[in-house]
Amino acid sequence: MAANRITQVKVAHLHPDQVMRYEQLHREIPAGNEKHMREAGIVSLRIFREGYTLFMIVESDPSSAIPDQVIDHQLEEEWHRLTGVCFSEMWKDASEVYRLQS
């Protein structure tokens, strides 16, 4: 199964006064949001912070995504409304610089 996995790395920046709010929101992610991510084929999602910079590592398996998934737009919009004010720069794809292969 791991052969089907896709890894994405993203970077974002927080407003200095929004760090605590952002972390608090992620301590209480609604179950519906996590369900939606799993149904989209996300196997693992991790967010790290260094200062005001966030790093998100997303592993997904397209073969595990539910076909014709119904997106709860209201749930998505609410989460983006809550977290969106925290960002000074929204998520952008990070470029891979190096990879050690076995």
| Domain covering 2-93 in this structure, CATH number | 3.30.70.100
Which residue type does 5 have?
Answer: R
How far apart, in Å, do the first and last CA atoms of the chain sit? 18
* Structure confidence at residue 12 (pLDDT): 99
Q: What is the pLDDT of residue 91?
A: 98
Domain spans of the chain?
A: 2-93
Residue ranges in the chain modelled with pLDDT below 50: 1
State residue 102's pLDDT score.
Answer: 86
pLDDT of 2: 62
pLDDT on residue 52: 99
Dihedral angle at the C-alpha atoms of 22, 35, 78, 56, nearest 10 degrees? 40
Token pair for 9 = 């790395």
Q: Provide the pLDDT for residue 72.
A: 80
